[in-house]
A = this chain, B = another copy of it.
Amino acid sequence: MADATIRCMAERARRGAPLTLEEIATTAVRLMDEAGVEGLSMRKLASELDVNPMSLYHHVENKEALLKLICATAAERMRVPPDDGSPWQEQLRELALAYHRNAKEHPALWGYLHTHPEVISHRGLPLWSALYRILRLAGVPEPEVRRTGDILHAFVSGFILAEINGHMPDDPEEIERNYDTAVHLIINGLAGF
């Protein structure tokens, strides 16, 4: 009896603890951070977790579902600056900066996310409520809020993707100036409404 249980545990886990969805997700994120989307394979992930590749499928339907999962949690966990009562220009700038900072922490993940936007289209995300709030503050008429938000998000994501993909100068100071110009452009544009 005792022998059987011991043998069972020894066999079912070449690892210390049983596999967790949480653990799978964080390891997947790490692999993506290290080597991009192309660096994440189910087999590599499994071997990183010291587990048979097929064990993963007990916790996740398939690779796409896994990617969706880690993108969704990243989007949900994104920290947006709170409403501190400052003028909308300032708040918009802060939100853009937060988004930028976030994306740079896990570039490959946000790259994937931006090219598979089902994940980010959930309107309850902190990102969207913050953006909509600021646009209303800026005086964008209610029926235009959502559209304008989509467009602004597309702009920012274009900027970030360009940066992630190396289509921007390398010098961080230069990037900072680019970012300033970009945000200024948007704010100027909005002010014209």
Residues of A within 8 A of B (CB): 111, 114-118, 120-121, 144, 147-148, 150-159, 161-162, 165-168, 177-178, 181-182, 184-192
Contacts and interface: CB of A to CB of B under 8 A. Distances in A.
Judged by DSSP, the binding face of A is helix
* This protein's copies in its complex: 2
Nearest to A166: B117
A150 B166 contact: no
A153 B40 CA distance: 30
Which residue of A147, A187, A191 has the most chain B CB atoms within 10 A of its CB atom?
A: A147
A67 to B, nearest CB: 13
A115 to B, nearest CB: 6
B178 A147 contact: yes
Contacts of A114: 161, 165
Contacts of A184: 189, 192
Nearest to A179: B151
B181 A147 contact: yes
Contacts of A192: 184-185, 188-189, 191-192
Contact of A158 (B155, B181, B187, B191): B155
